[in-house]
Amino acid sequence: MHNPTDDYSPLTLAFVGDGVYDLLVREYLARRANRPVGELNKTKVAMVNCKSQARFASMLMPNLSEKETAVYKRGRNAAPKSTAKNGTVAEYHSATGLECLFGYLYLNGEQDRVEELFHLIVDSVFNND
């Protein structure tokens, strides 16, 4: 069966995934502790930058299905117009792959899977505290 989101460009999926991932991080941090906004933002930036996202993508790889790995690779191999500000080109491409995966899952209504993958990331950052 053909999935309509398979026709979306990987950069469109990454565009959506960037927002999804950013909101997940913000929600998680807000629920974790009522802290000053500056402190919340500092932690958010540490989780959303391309270096961190590339590390998270690498960590998630063994947990991805064949289809999810293919979607990630489509995003990673896309040629974004912008360049990395705080990381290498390879990290930027890997981060784009992660965002592409989150966008794909979100647009397919796979919210449980989005949450599952996000919690693997959070657990790696905060060590289940």
Return the active site residues: 18
Residues 6+ apart with CB under 8 A from 9: 78
- In the three-class reduction of DSSP (H, G, I as helix; E, B as strand; rest coil), residue 19 is classed as helix
Residues 6+ apart with CB under 8 A from 75: 10, 11, 13, 14, 17, 96, 97, 98, 99, 100, 101
Q: Nearest to residue 54, comparing CAs of 37, 76, 38, 32?
A: 76
Distance, CA of 52 to chain centre: 10
CA angle 40, 44, 49 (to 5 degrees): 155
